[in-house]
Amino acid sequence: MHLPRKLLRGDAVIGVILLALALWYGLEAQGFRPGRAGDPGAGMFPTLLALLLGGLALWLIVSALIAPPGAEETDPERRARQRAIALAGFIRAAIAAALSVAFVALFETLGYIIATGLYAAAISLLFRRDNLLITLLAAAGAVGFLHLLFSVFLNARLPMGLLG
């Protein structure tokens, strides 16, 4: 069976993958315990996220199918440049995934402040390299904000790790 060229476009393929992920995530969220007497319950927020992701995935698929082929699909030089950009993006995404796994693995050992600070700085540097000082200050600000939010306002216990 030969699929039409439009269906094989990258954004349509990604849309199908995201739609499958949204369906799986939404089904998993239905297994959470329901709320009591009018409370929304633990599954409300994940269900809303699944619905949002599913809607955006459908929009991506439909827009990919109705859009005419762009210049990058007809010009071999532009196609080669687009592939190089996509490969660089894939490598950055793989590094971000590895950093996320390391963050989860070291969170308890290093503690919230150190682990989150290193993770935020590494992710910020990975995706924004134009101004080192602003990037690191933004990462530190995010860590401080999240610490205030969870430790002070929500009174959540965060692991202290090496600082404890």
Q: For residue 128, tell me if it sits in a domain.
A: yes
- Do residue 59 and residue 8 come from a single domain? yes
Global pTM value:
0.56
Domain span at 59? 1-69
Q: Which of 39, 69, 99 delimits the end of a domain?
A: 69
Same structural domain, 61 and 85:
no
Domain end marker among 14, 44, 69: 69
Do 1 and 63 fall into the same domain?
yes
In terms of domains, do 95 and 121 share one?
Answer: yes
Question: Mapped to the 3 state alphabet, what secondary structure does 107-163 carry?
Answer: HHHHCHHHHHHHHHHHHHHHHCCCCHHHHHHHHHHHHHHHHHHHHHHCCCCCCCHHH
Tens-binned pLDDT, residue by residue, of the chain (164 aa): 444 444 456 777 888 888 999 999 889 888 877 767 666 677 777 888 889 999 999 998 888 778 766 555 567 787 788 788 878 888 988 999 999 999 999 988 999 889 999 998 898 888 877 788 888 888 899 899 988 988 888 888 888 888 87
Per the structure, the count of domains in the chain is 2
Choosing from 10, 40, 69, the residue where a domain stops is 69
